[in-house]
Amino acid sequence: MEMDASDRTRLEKLAMERLYATADDVERWSFAWGGAEAVCLSYCPWSELEDWEFDGTTEGLDLPWSNERLGLIKRGEVSLNEEELRQWRQSMCRLLAVRGQAFTAWITPVTVDKTLSGYATFLFHYGAAPEDAPTLKGIYP
């Protein structure tokens, strides 16, 4: 199901109005987590790690490398190829998300006249201050 640009713009404005209406609630920014219908995910954007260089960290990572290959890498006898570097970055991203050192993404229903009209995605950065508003990343059908 597609959403036309005018509907998307209208729902973005509505989502931001509702978000800021909860800025001073006891549960600050409570619209963003939308109650029982919302979904929460730990999220590490690829853009955060796509340029990271391998720093030797392998502990606690779910890497698909053989023990032999891992040993060669740890000893500095071989360098990571492009595929291994991608695997390492993805694994680091998952580790950061598990540790809470990434974003929290909330997918929140947006209703109009008690009818579900779409979903808003808000991102919270793990280092943000409580007064910092979450970022609206999109509206989806």
Domain range summary for the chain, segments of one domain joined by +: 5-43+102-140, 47-98
1 pLDDT higher than 80: no
pLDDT, position 45: 83
Q: What percent of the chain has pLDDT over 70?
A: 99
Residue 53 dihedral angles phi and psi, to the nearest 5°: -95, 145
pLDDT, position 102: 86
